[in-house]
Amino acid sequence: MHLYADPLSTSCRPVLMMIADQSLAVEIIPVNLHLNETAEPDFLAINPNGTLPVLRDGDLVLTESSAILKHLALRFDLAVYPTDPRAQILVDEMVSWFSTNFWAYHCILGTYPRMLPALGWLNPITLNEISMLAAHGSARYLTVLDRRLAQGGPFVCGPDLTIADYTGIAKVTLADYVDFDFSPYPAVSRWCARMRERDGWTAAFAGFTGLVDAARQQRSATVA
């Protein structure tokens, strides 16, 4: 089984973290997003979307991180994706929750415009307006997540770690790149700390943490 991935991709980190955390026998094939390797014909022949991650399991090719997480969990018989229908649909719900409205506000609008060089053409007024919209959405959904974790944690779907935690942690912590203030959300902060202590964190997040540190240094050098 092969996973095409780049740890600097927010869609790859959940899968990379689960593979490391659960010691899964999956071979990682590095694909470099910054070198635009996903746009090369050989890669497009595997995934016409030109996106990562991609999982190849025999003749099965999966190009969505949520489907990859579910497939791996079922294939390796992991408790992180329950087979009981009611428990499973509740996990599916939270994977979708992180991947739809939350992702749009917190990641696409809130972080990427200030992170991705490809969006450098946005002018300061547009950036400011996008930031205001993002802040509104992040606050709305982080408030819901915080209450959920405080009342029913310690993990997103209750007492046990699930694929919703792997999906969510990458999306929530993407905003570390812009030094997002998580202090109004103490249960979310505790959950992030809990996920950072897991074995799979370093394997999946070391590259991204390096990017965050570099961005902080650049900001403090600009201010000084």
Ligand X SMILES: N[C@@H](CCC(=O)N[C@@H](CS)C(=O)NCC(=O)O)C(=O)O
- Residue 11 interacts with ligand X (CB under 6 A): yes or no: yes
- Residue 47 interacts with ligand X (CB under 6 A): yes or no: no
- Residue 173 interacts with ligand X (CB under 6 A): yes or no: no
CB proximity list for 56: less than 8 A, separation 6 or greater: 1, 2, 3, 4, 46
Distance CA 194, CA 191 (A): 5
- Residue 9 interacts with ligand X (CB under 6 A): yes or no: yes
The only residue of 2, 24, 51, 182 in contact with ligand X, by rule CB under 6 A: 51
Distance CA 155, CA 27 (A): 28
The only residue of 3, 4, 7, 10 in contact with ligand X, by rule CB under 6 A: 10
The only residue of 65, 111, 138, 173 in contact with ligand X, by rule CB under 6 A: 65
- Residue 64 interacts with ligand X (CB under 6 A): yes or no: yes
Please state whether the peptide bond connecting residue 154 to the residue before it is cis, i.e. omega within 30 degrees of 0.
Answer: yes
What is the full DSSP assignment across 21-49?
HTT---EEEE--TTTTGGGSHHHHHH-TT
- Residue 37 interacts with ligand X (CB under 6 A): yes or no: no
Counting residues that bind ligand X (by CB under 6 A) gives 11
Distance CA 52, CA 29 (A): 11
- Residue 96 interacts with ligand X (CB under 6 A): yes or no: no
- Residue 52 interacts with ligand X (CB under 6 A): yes or no: yes
Instruction: Considering only the stretches 19-27, 44-52, 76-84, 206-214, report the one whose residues sit in contact with ligand X under the rule CB under 6 A.
Output: 44-52
Considering beta carbons, is residue 38 or 162 the nearer one to ligand X?
Answer: 38
Q: Smallest gap, in angstroms, from Cβ of residue 38 to ligand X?
A: 5
Distance CA 59, CA 36 (A): 25
Distance CA 136, CA 151 (A): 23
- Residues lying near ligand X in the complex (CB under 6 A): 9-11, 33, 38, 50-53, 64-65
